[in-house]
C-alpha cells in the first residue's frame, strides 16, 4: 500500500505566500507577531525581508498596522496562532478590519486542539464562532495542502477581509491538484471522513419530512460508497424557516441548504404576537 503524503496546512500557507510574491504581486505584504517560524511566514521573510514585518507580541497592534496598510492599497496577510489572532485581537479585527471591510487577510495557524503540547491556553476552537459573527468576514478552513494553497490564492484575489484557519500537524493530502477546483462559497458534495482507521469518501443523503405540529424534520446522513450510513443527524425545523423556500433549495443543493437551515434556526424572524 502506497504511503499517504502528509503536509501541514501551515506549510502550505507559507509556501503559497512566497509563490504569490515571486509571481509579481508587489502589493502583498506579510505581518507576524514573533511567530514566523511557527506560522511558516518565515519562508516569505527569507525571500522578501523588506515586505515582512514582525510586530512583536502585540497582536492587536498588528491588526491595526494591517488595517493601515490596506487603506494604502497593500494586501496584508496577518499571521499568528488562532488563539491570538482571533482571540486576543478580536476587538481590533472587529472595529478596524471587519466594520470598514478592509482588504486584510488573517492567516491563523495552530487552530483546534492539534497544538496539544502547548496546552489548553493555545487550543482555539471558538475562532470560527468569533470570526463568523463579524459582518463581511469570509471564513475558510482548508482540509489539505492542495485546498490550502488554493484558499490562500482565492483570499488574495478577492476584495475584503478573510480569516484563513490552518493546522499545526501534517495531514493527509487527498485532493488531486490536477483536477481539484476551489471556489469560494461553494462546497463539495463529497466529504472525506478521517479517524485513525478510516479514510473514505462519503456522500450526503437528505430528506425533509413534515410533522403534524407544523414543524419539519430535516434528516441528513453521510453514507459511504455502499450507502451505508457513517453518521446520521436530524434537525427539528420550525415552519417559519421552511416558509423561506428552503425545501426547494434543499433538493437542489444539500450542502448549501444545511448551512442555510442552521443560520435560519438562529436568524429567522419570530412571529409577532397580537
120 half-sphere exposure, CB direction, 13 A CA radius: 0
Instruction: Record the cell numbers describing residue 24, joined without a space.
Output: 509579481
205 half-sphere exposure, CB direction, 13 A CA radius: 13
List CB contacts of 178: < 8 A, sequence separation 6 or more: none
Identify whether 59 is a catalytic site residue. Answer: yes
Backbone torsions φ then ψ of 220, nearest 5 degrees: -125, 135
Q: Active site residue: 3, 19, 23, 59, which one?
A: 59
Confidence of residue 232 (pLDDT cuts 50, 70, 90): low
pLDDT value at residue 172: 86
pLDDT tens sequence across 26-52: 999 999 999 999 999 999 999 999 999
pLDDT tens sequence across 137-184: 999 999 899 999 999 999 999 999 999 999 998 988 888 888 888 888
Q: Across the strands, what pairs with 77?
A: 30, 105
Give the other-Cβ count within 10 Å of 145's Cβ: 25
Confidence of residue 194 (pLDDT cuts 50, 70, 90): very low
pLDDT value at residue 236: 60
pLDDT value at residue 267: 45
Q: Can you point out the beta strands (E) in the chain? A: 6-8, 28-32, 52-54, 75-81, 105-109, 138-140, 162-165, 170-172, 190-194, 199-210, 216-223, 229-237
pLDDT value at residue 75: 98
Instruction: Please report which residue ranges of 199-253 form alpha helices under DSSP H.
Output: 239-242, 246-252
Amino acid at each position: 500500500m502506497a504511503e499517504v503524503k502528509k503536509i501541514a496546512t501551515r506549510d502550505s500557507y507559507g509556501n503559497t505566500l512566497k509563490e504569490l510574491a515571486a509571481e509579481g504581486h508587489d502589493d502583498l505584504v506579510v505581518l507576524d507577531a514573533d511567530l514566523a517560524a511557527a506560522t511558516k511566514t518565515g519562508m516569505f521573510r527569507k525571500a522578501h525581508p523588506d515586505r515582512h514585518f514582525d510586530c512583536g507580541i502585540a497582536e492587536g497592534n498588528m491588526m491595526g498596522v494591517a488595517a493601515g496598510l490596506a487603506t494604502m492599497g497593500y494586501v496584508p496577510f496577518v499571521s499568528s496562532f488562532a488563539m491570538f489572532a482571533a482571540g486576543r485581537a478580536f476587538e481590533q479585527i472587529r472595529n478596524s478590519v471587519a466594520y470598514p471591510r478592509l482588504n486584510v487577510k488573517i492567516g491563523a495557524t495552530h487552530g483546534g486542539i492539534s497544538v496539544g503540547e502547548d496546552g489548553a491556553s493555545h487550543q482555539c476552537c471558538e475562532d470560527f464562532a468569533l470570526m463568523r459573527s463579524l459582518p463581511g468576514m469570509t471564513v475558510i478552513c482548508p482540509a489539505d495542502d492542495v485546498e490550502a494553497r488554493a484558499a490562500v490564492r482565492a483570499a488574495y484575489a478577492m476584495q475584503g477581509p478573510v480569516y484563513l484557519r490552518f493546522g499545526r500537524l501534517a495531514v493527509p493530502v487527498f485532493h488531486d491538484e490536477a483536477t481539484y477546483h476551489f471556489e469560494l462559497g461553494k462546497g463539495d458534495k463529497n466529504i472525506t471522513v478521517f479517524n485513525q482507521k478510516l479514510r473514505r469518501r462519503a456522500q450526503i443523503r437528505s430528506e425533509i419530512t413534515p410533522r403534524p405540529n407544523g414543524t419539519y424534520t430535516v434528516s441528513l446522513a453521510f453514507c459511504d460508497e455502499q450507502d451505508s450510513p457513517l453518521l446520521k443527524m436530524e434537525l427539528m425545523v420550525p415552519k417559519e424557516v421552511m416558509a423561506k423556500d428552503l425545501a426547494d433549495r434543499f433538493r437542489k443543493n444539500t450542502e448549501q441548504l444545511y448551512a442555510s437551515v442552521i443560520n435560519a434556526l438562529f436568524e429567522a424572524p419570530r412571529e409577532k404576537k397580537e
